[in-house]
Structure 1
């Protein structure tokens, strides 16, 4: 919508408050603030939701891969053949054998449930950036050392160099029943992935040591697979599934964490819908302020019509006023949203300090910090929605102004 110099001059004049128009200016100002708050709320919430999903996916995939080939019965015999087929599948970046088994661990009188993971030396070495204490190089076959999560170490009160005892309920049989197998391991490293459930339960050791502890022989439980694109993992691994018929099944990251990611998707849609109502209410304020402005300027509009202003010009003038309010509110909202996201953790810490409440408990939210990841297309969509609604809601008052009959208005002047 291109305005002539005359139309832009009149629109700018009506945007500024005049005598007796303070209330109209107040409503217009509130409309601008409401649009800004609505846009900022949408930007903040959607970016945080995207960040939460992305961080959670990165951390989960970083530890579990994009998919696992799970053996029926939990034991995959002749797994080397399956591993070779997985690695030969187009689109597969990495495939590694893996053992996972829930067990118990004791230290200094404390007992905790753990998730034992047996991994290759290469996979264990990939944990190096996550290590907070000790050295991941100490976790080697035959070294009788393990790496444990930071939260598990805190709960047990154990540190690097301490010896923990891992208990396998499936032990040796005796005349008095089955005696659980207990093996002592030295803590060689403490890691922090950033996902509470992992940091609170995982104990990692080389595969041969895990096989010895579990007395499973040369078998594994699953194969971890990483592909070139986590969103296409099903299509990439589809040719492999017929070759595993009767032996194993493929589960991708979405199926493994289905409840979590489906809950995030539903919450994301719900939050967008609810917060969009704020923008809708804001543009209703623009509508009401323009209606009041049209009523207050009826005589001016009639005079402009008698001086030669066309109905289209009058309509463009009032549409420009509403669009400018919406544009200013949208720009302000985007700026507020980005500023909040930049200082988001400081804001969370400040609120926690003032209220004395832990607003970001990793036991509940899995992650240790408030994440954020802005999607440029999503931000553009939010801005387009706000501007589009502002434009649509200016049509009625603009058309009302354009239909003003100067004869009727100025009859008794």
Structure 2
């Protein structure tokens, strides 16, 4: 071991007349430990929230969508086969989507509740979205979308039994409209009005066959899933009908590459979009928020770094005579500076190791046992999600050690500039 390290370690040890200096060194070490602990824990939680939000969004948002650029006729089956052959594509299915009005209740009297919604007509047996939708069901089943159900309705005071297609709605929308499984609803497509607004809207009855709860208010309060056949029947006269294909990929981050290949296959008559573009503002904001947290919490380490400066400056003043003797014995000025840089590095490495290590353990325990609970009615999750990424811990460790070494620069330069002749003369 080089003598600079040995002397640096020796200078950090406590002696009776230097206990105050050692106390400040301990406080500095504790500051680095606390700062890196909080920083690693916060980054793990932010990563968890970011990943959880991405998963919830993509559960109801196709990773890649192919839609018509106009209202022209197209052959989805032919394009679907070609898209399915693209490497990385695991599922392709057609869908219809449109804004609708939801009317709760049937009969000749005025309905009690009306709300807006977004209709999604999907293929019930192999649709890419339904894999995730199944995991969020709180009542009913997906299989009910593919069949019709007998429902008794009353019109002009006379009850009659009709066969209605099923619909799965969000839990929030169901609560707002007072719906339960088996209740009939009416969906109205306002965009199917005739030219000049004189035509009547197209409407159709459905029966509630299930509820889902994604934890995202935007989805739970508006989405209505029906079968592709029933959706097309409702929107058949809609000239603005957006019929397209939605894809699920083996790797969600491969969406830009798949989109480029689809554009080359489909040609200019289609609009291809992927989640990295449609949700880019949201995820950019989350990344910026995560970076802001990193900078703010890094200030804790910066405060500890200032304590390191104070500690090492006092060590330089206490050890002036010893430094002068080392210089007189032939030690180079660079070696003297290295002694105090080593002290800063030692405080940084030890404090960072303790902080990052304890942060990793705390993050692991919080993520595994869901130790921090959240009110589910206020947040989209019932506990704080945590994701452990090695890059987060490496980034925190490098930043903390770099700050501690940088904090030792001024004391090191001050020790380097001491004149051994002047010090020995006045000591």
**TM-score normalised to the size of structure 1?**
0.83
Say which SS state the counterpart of residue 21 (structure 1) adopts: helix
Q: Tell me whether 1:255 sits opposite 2:277 in the alignment.
A: yes
Paired with 1:165 and 1:17, the residues of 2 have a C-alpha distance of 80
The match for 1:102 among 96, 99, 104 is 99
Describe the shift of the 1:159–1:371 C-alpha distance in structure 2 as closer, same or farther (beyond 3 A): same
Deviations 1:270-323 (A, max 9, x none): 333343344333323212211112112223434566678765664444333222
Range 144-153 or range 38-47, more displaced? 38-47
Q: Structure 1: how far apart are the matches of 2:238 and 2:418?
A: 91
Could you say which residue in structure 1 is the equivalent of 2:153?
A: none
* SS of equivalent residue, structure 2 residue 210: strand
Partner Cα separation in structure 1 for residue 232 and residue 357 of structure 2:
56
Q: Could you say which residue in structure 1 is the equivalent of 2:159?
A: none
Other-structure match for 1:83: 80
Take 1:256 and 1:314, find their aligned partners in 2: how far apart are those partners?
57
Q: 2:404 matched to which residue of 1?
A: 390
Q: 2:393 aligned to 367, 379, 386, which one?
A: 379
| Distance in 2 between residues matched to 1:33 and 1:193, nearest whole Å | 42
CA distance in 2, matches of 1:325, 1:223: 58
Give the Å deviation of 1:206.
0.9
| Aligned-partner Cα distance in 1 for 2:309–2:71 | 64
Structure 2 residue matching 1:374: 3-state secondary structure: coil
Cα displacement (A) at 1:96: 1.0
Alignment partner of 1:296 is 2:312: no
1:29-48 matches, cutoff 5 A: 29-48=26-45
Partner residue, 1:232: 254
Cα distance in 2 for partners of 1:55, 1:64 equals 14
Q: Which 10-residue stretch deviates more, 338-347 or 374-383?
A: 338-347
Change (3 A) 1:58 1:172: closer
Q: Could you tell me which runs of 5 or more consecutive residues in structure 2 were left unpaired when the two chains were aligned.
A: 106-111, 150-164
**Map of 2:225 onto structure 1:** 204
- 8 A contact 2:302–2:403 mirrored in 1: yes
Q: Would the alpha carbon gap of residues 281 and 187 (structure 1) be closer, same or farther in structure 2, given more than 3 Å must change? A: same
Q: Which residue of 2 is the match for residue 221 of structure 1?
A: 243
TM-score for both structures, normalised by structure 2: 0.80
Does the aligned pair in 2 maintain the 1:71–1:249 contact within 8 Å?
yes
Equivalent residue number for residue 359 of structure 2: 337
Mapped partners of 1:22, 1:180: distance in 2: 85
| Pair 1:134 & 2:157 matched | no
In the aligned structure 2, how far is the partner of 1:297 from the partner of 1:76?
87
Q: Are the equivalent residues in 2 in contact too, given 1:74–1:221 (CA < 8 A)?
A: no
Query: Does the CA-based 8 Å contact 1:195-1:367 persist in structure 2?
Result: no
